[in-house]
Chain A
Amino acid sequence: MEPERILLAHGSGGKLSYDLIRELFLPPLHNPILATLADAAIFSRQGMRLAITTDSYVVDPIFFPGGDIGKLAIYGTINDLAMGGAKPLYLSIGFILEEGFPLEELRVVVNSIKEAAQQCGVDIIAGDTKVVPRGKGDKVFINTTGLGAVSEGVELSVDRICVGDKIIINGFIGEHGIAVMTQREGLEFDTPIKSDAAPLWGLVSQMLEASQGLHLLRDPTRGGVATVLNEVASGGDFGIRLEEKALPVGEGVAVACEILGLDPLYVANEGKLIAFCQPDEVEHILAAMKRHRYGREAMVIGEVVATPPGKVIMKTRVGGTRLLDMLTGEQLPRIC
């Protein structure tokens, strides 16, 4: 029997990542907070509800249309806090630098980090630097950890999802993954596709203020919309039904996916959120979202249904239905 090894697909955010977390990491490290496997861990200390999250960034190339690794390292962690309903307070940052990496490029990245943090209203209060020999890393890898505070009454959890809940997305899908991919592979399209990288706490706070009917928020990063919806449905006593014709896919992403044989439902986003909402609050929440710059194109893409439980089913444009499975294998390595 061949010894099992880490494959690139373990980092895809799809099925193998999920299995690795469930089977290798979770059992020895188990505790009730970790076991929720939420984007941010939420816990109470001395009457305060706090949220903590951590994420590492290895995107290649480090500069791409619409962003760079620095912006991504701030927004990504801010967004994981926001998905827990937490207002971002502080960040820590760690750099792993490759010997030979030009200081000029590092300055650009750090400046980008400064701007992104200012935009989000957070301070970076701790940091670390390591250097590895040439070839043992690739330019720069960044880790950020975020600390946030959750207001009284905010409760976002899979347990709150009910049959009939509507599923909202805040705009067009697949832009980040395609922007990075086309930059990396040197593909050119008439209209360049820009990453959607954006910080989402502002939008989320507006949604939380507008309604108590928000049940769950998730950001469809690696593995895309399909994988996140499968994670939510998996093991639940409900299913999810999507409408293909309602899915917002921009012309550029649609064309690129058609040529490259990719499915936009599995392509990463860095400025999108998926919201599960009480049906009678949908209009209210949509209206609040549309008032925010990152929510102008918000729309309903599907709903929570009773059958089949644990699965995501899509009504296709031509009028059939099909299963929408988790990402299997690796679609695009190192996109965040």
Chain B
Amino acid sequence: MKYIDEFRDNSLARALALRIARLAEGSPEVTLMEVCGTHTVTVFKHGLKDLIPDNVTLLAGPGCPVCVTPTDYIDKAIAYASLEGVTVATFGDLFRVPGSSSSLEKERARGGDVRIVYSPLDALRLAQENGDRKVIFLGVGFETTAPLVAVSVQEARRRGIRNYLVFSAHKVMPPPMEALVSDGELRIDGFLCPGHVSTIIGWGAYRFLSQQYHIPCVVAGFEPLDVLEGIWMLLRQIRHGEPRVENQYRRAVREEGNPRALALMREVFEPSDSEWRGMGTIPGSGLTIRDRYRDCDAEANVEVEVEPASSHPGCVCGSVLKGVKTPLDCSLFRRVCTPEKPLGACMVSSEGTCSIYYKYSDRA
């Protein structure tokens, strides 16, 4: 298949693996974090760890939006779904995530009106067609998703649709990356920066990481050769001791990103402090709906009360998201926590580290 086969070519992969091995030879242990869950999928689905020397460790990072969304958000979404006259619209990957005592899937089986949509504009259409109900869209996702949701909010205003609301848990990527390197619990020698997010924010957005924290950064695409080349570029920076931001994903990512999408996002949302599962509250890492669009903000217009959130006592999703533990360190993994009966968010999303280990790794 054109544009796919080229990026999965066996001889090019072997040549890159050889270059990686040469750079890593005789060097101390190196830990690289692939921030984005889709990169983790590529690493496991194509068995890339077999092509990388033992002294190079790849760590999965916090780049799975469903996984980092805290339990109290899920609880609140479930509470919305149980209200009379409210329809909750969500992307499918949030549907099965366990809250403290239920999930959207179970709430629907109990009679709650929960709809799976593929776009916030589908949710907007639901609102238009059901004028007597409030339609609450669950806005979960990074900079890749937020501009779309911003469009839906603007469209609602333009068309005078007053029953469309967004419950925003949108997050932005650079602040948690900074939190990871400044908190010191984990030594990270380089970031494989998220490709999709970078199409929006541009590779320039990571410059502070290389300048202030001296961390090499490479924005990479999602095919196996993209990831291998990204790893090679990171090792080259480490070897030469010249941390900077490089762009491997030149076919999609520019330095300034997508100014139009950024402008849309900034028009509707403003930065706020936001809680990340496992990482606590990170300043400036969330996106809240601006006052001028307050009439579209679910939290400002529909009241629900939820108990303090709790998650399964043995679940280590939080530590997995920070990269300090792997699913193999979890006593629940594969024994009681499975894709059929997930106990934590990382087992639900196809980009969640636990689900990826379950599906593709033959260990444990």
Contact = CB atoms under 8 A, between A and B. Distances in A.
Interface in B7-55: 8-10, 13-14, 17, 44-51
A140 to B, nearest CB: 28
Contact of A322 (B109, B338, B360): B360
Contact of A319 (B44, B51, B106, B362): B51
A320 B10 contact: no
Contact of B362 (A245, A308, A315, A328): A308
B47 A328 contact: no
Nearest to A255: B1
Contacts of B1: 251, 254-255, 258
Interface residues of B, number: 29
Contacts of A319: 10, 13-14, 17, 47, 50-51
A16 interface: yes
A318 B340 contact: no
Contacts of B45: 316, 322
Contacts of A315: 47
Given A245-B10, A254-B1, A328-B340, A321 B50 contact: yes
Contacts of B362: 308, 311, 313, 322-323
A317 interface: yes
Contacts, number: 71
B359 interface: yes
Contact of A318 (B4, B10, B109): B10
Contact of B361 (A254, A316, A323, A328): A323
B339 interface: yes
Nearest to A19: B340
Q: Is the interface of B mostly helix, strand, loop or mixed?
A: helix
B33 to A, nearest CB: 20
B224 interface: yes
Contact of B46 (A2, A258, A316, A323): A316
Given A2-B109, A329-B339, A322 B361 contact: yes
Interface in A278-326: 308, 311, 313-323, 325
A251 B339 CA distance: 30
A316 B49 CA distance: 12
A320 B46 contact: yes
B249 interface: no
B16 to A, nearest CB: 9
Interface in B304-321: none
Nearest to A318: B13
Contacts of A318: 8-10, 13, 46-48, 51, 224-225, 228
Nearest to B42: A318
B167 interface: no
Interface string B258-297: 0000000000000000000000000000000000000000
A317 B10 contact: yes
B47 A322 contact: yes
Interface in A10-62: 15-16
Given A318-B46, A328-B340, A329-B339, A323 B360 contact: yes
A320 B44 CA distance: 9
A5 interface: yes
Contact of A325 (B4, B17, B48, B359): B359
B80 interface: no
Contacts of B10: 245, 317-319
B2 to A, nearest CB: 9
Nearest to B227: A318
Nearest to B1: A254
A328 to B, nearest CB: 4
A7 to B, nearest CB: 9
Contacts of B14: 319
Given A254-B1, A255-B1, A322 B339 contact: no
Interface in A141-178: none
Contacts of A255: 1
A103 B41 CA distance: 49
Given A317-B8, A317-B10, A323 B109 contact: no
A322 B46 contact: yes
B50 A320 contact: yes
B137 interface: no
A9 B96 CA distance: 13
A325 B51 CA distance: 21
Most chain-A CB neighbours within 10 Å: which of B45, B47, B48? B47
Nearest to A251: B1
A258 B50 contact: no
Nearest to A329: B339
B340 A316 contact: no
Contacts of A311: 362
B358 interface: yes
A308 to B, nearest CB: 6
Nearest to B13: A318
A329 B45 CA distance: 18
B81 to A, nearest CB: 15
Interface in A236-256: 245, 251, 254-255
Given A316-B47, A322-B47, 8 more contacts: A258-B1, A318-B13, A319-B14, A320-B47, A325-B358, A325-B359, A328-B359, A329-B340
18 contacts: A2-B106, A245-B10, A254-B4, A311-B362, A317-B10, A318-B225, A319-B13, A319-B47, A321-B50, A322-B44, A322-B362, A323-B359, A323-B360, A325-B358, A325-B359, A325-B360, A328-B339, A329-B340
Interface of A: 2, 5, 9, 15-16, 245, 251, 254-255, 258, 308, 311, 313-323, 325, 328-329
- State the 5 A-B residue pairs at the shortest beta-carbon distance, nearest first: A320-B47, A318-B13, A320-B50, A323-B362, A328-B339
